[in-house]
Amino acid sequence: MLRVVAATSAAMAVMGAVSVLPLASATPPDRTIRVLDGQIRCLLSADYEGRGRPATVCGRTDGAPFQISPKGKPLAVLLATGEQYYISGTVPGDPSADLVLGPGQISKLNGWTVKTEDLRILVSYDIGRHGMRVNPIEVMPAWL
C-alpha cells in the first residue's frame, strides 16, 4: 500500500512539473518576407513580441514611411484582431534569411497568408480574415 501511495505521489509530481515547462515548439518562429521587387519587407508572427498575439509588421526597405503614416513611424502593424497602427523602427531579422515572393505568388506562414500582385500585396490572418493591402506608397485595411 505504501508503494502505491509513493508511486502515485511521484507520478503527480512529475505531471505537475511537466505542466509548468514551456512548450518549445508550441509557437513557430517569426518569419520575414520581401516582396514587390524588394521594396517591402514584412515580419509574420504567430506570437508578436512574446505577448501571445499574432501580428504582421510591414515597412519599406528604404526606411521611408508610407504616405499615411504618422511622422516618424515607418512600420505598419496589423494584429490578428484587425487593429492597425504604426510604430517606429525597422523590420527585425536578417534580410538574407527573407523569403522572397514575386508577383502572383502566395505564401502561408505563421497563420498569415500573403498574396502578391504586380503593384501590391495582401496580407491576411487566416482565422479572422482581417488583412491589409500594402504597396510602397500606402497601407490600407482589408477584410476578406
3-class DSSP assignment, residue 20: helix
Q: How far apart are CA 122 and CA 114, in angstroms?
A: 6
Map out the domains of the chain as residue ranges.
31-143
Q: Whole-angstrom Cα distance, residue 69 to residue 9?
A: 59
Q: And the C-alpha cell for 114?
A: 500573403
pTM above 0.85, yes or no: no
Assess contact for 101 and 35: CB atoms under 8 A: yes
What is the percent of the chain where pLDDT is above 90? 72
CA 7 and chain centroid, separation? 44
**Quick one: average pLDDT of 95-116?**
96
Of residues 14 and 54, more confidently modeled? 54
The 8 Å CB, 24+ separation contacts for 137-141 are: 137/66, 137/67, 138/66, 138/67, 138/68, 139/58, 139/66, 139/68, 139/69, 139/76, 139/84, 141/78, 141/82, 141/84
> CB neighbours of 89 closer than 8 A, spacing ≥ 6?
74, 75
Q: How far apart are CA 43 and CA 78, in angstroms?
A: 10
26-49: pLDDT as tens digits = 778 999 999 999 999 999 999 999
